Structure 1
Amino acid sequence: MDDFTCHAPDIDESPLATETPAQMAPRLAKAKALALAQHYPDALIIGSDQTASCDGLLLNKPGTEANALAQLKRCQGKTVTFYTGLCLLNSSNQQLQLQTVATEVSFLSLTDAQLQIYIRKEQPLDCAGSFKCEALGSSLFQSLTSTDPSALEGLPLIALCAMLRREGFEPLS
């Protein structure tokens, strides 16, 4: 396997005035990849970002436990759509691939006490929609629908493997 480096670019993640959550995720994924191109001139750069939408409203990163509780209460008994934007940039030739994977999550109706336990244990304060599926987040929902379930964790691996193969990189080699 080739060497890799993780690098978090410093970009403005604020939504644009008329931008939907479905438009925002790929825009930010692309911006992240492009922001790193000058630092890695001969590399395949992966940019990814995720947004969430409930009742058509963007669910931001909550920042505080109170905001996280409010967001999770809004999601109770509803279906929330998570949009994961993925960008693969070949910085040597500026070839760019961009895709968005949508994941629909049907949330259970839980008590405030249960939600507060989840927030205290998981601290999802920097996650879109106050939700981490990697651990206890799965206890918040009754089902999910996606063509790429890994997208809910923030990096759609099925889509990424297809993009890498189009760039001549075989993930299984």
Structure 2
Amino acid sequence: MPSVQIVLSSTSLFRRELLARLGLPFETANPNVDETARHGETPETTALRLSEDKARAVARQYPEALIIGSDQVAYLDGQVFGKPGTHENAARQLQTMRGRTVNFYTGLCLLNAKSGKVQLRGVPTLVTFRNLTSDEIENYLRKEKPYNCAGSAKSEGLGIAIIAKMEGEDPNALIGLPLIALCDFLRNESVYAI
């Protein structure tokens, strides 16, 4: 067991489930961070900045902890697909993305609150969507309700049926927490899952 406290700066059930796979004890905290992209900011920069912002947002509460922050941005041809929030927005996103390949860029930050050391990495995943009919999109949205997922793609659920192909270094990145990179970061802090 690690002697240092680990905190996941997220309220996402899916990120909690992913982190639990490592078998390390951890706590969660709500970062309450504005996830709006800044003017002129690239999707990659947004994901990395928000990952670090989320980690730093809870550092005062956990001054001795290793804090994990993560954020994801989906984009295609310069258009960003954030969390749709509504059924109508999700339908528009999926209609635009059907039959196309979208970049889901997941930023990851591990902040050592005690030393101030920051480890930051972006993990891209290319997702090719099936050429879905309008009825398939409606059926998926009614069943899955992915309104709080970047790009309306909830691959950990029924969303896998709307995806034709995925390319990336870590399948967990698409769900929202790149575990391979996180294991590297934790090892750099002498914390080992095995």
Q: Please report the TM-score for the alignment, with normalisation by the length of structure 1.
A: 0.97
Which of 17, 22, 26 is the equivalent residue of 1:4? 26
**1:40 pairs with 2:49:** no
Partner of 2:11: none
- The separation in 1 between residues aligned to 2:30 and 2:96, in whole angstroms, is 30
CA shift, 1:119, in A, is 0.8
Query: Equivalents in 2 of 1:5, 1:155: separation in Å?
Result: 15
Q: CA deviation at 1:122?
A: 1.1
Does 2:163 correspond to 1:148? no
Structure 2 unmatched ranges of 5 or more: 3-24
Gap regions ≥5 residues in structure 1: none
Q: Using the TM superposition, give the Cα deviation of residue 167 of structure 1 relative to its aligned residue in structure 2, in angstroms.
A: 0.6
The answer as to 2:51 corresponding to 1:29 is: yes
1:54 maps to 2:81:
no
Offset of 1:18 from its aligned partner? 0.3
Q: Deviation above 2 Å: which 4+ runs of structure 1?
A: none
SS in 1 for 2:102: strand
Superposed CA RMSD in Å reads 0.9
Residue identity over aligned pairs, in percent, reads 49
Indicate the residue corresponding to 1:92 in structure 2: 114
Give the one of 100, 111, 125 matched to 1:103: 125
Is 1:119 aligned with 2:145? no
Counterpart code for 1:42: E
User: Which of the residues 10, 16, 29 maps onto 2:38?
Assistant: 16
| Contact 1:20-1:58 at 8 Å conserved across structures | no
Larger deviation, residues 44-53 vs 111-120: 111-120
Shift of 1:163: 0.4
Aligned mates of 1:81, 1:74 — CA distance in 2: 14
Q: Residue 6 of structure 1 aligns to a residue in which SS? A: strand
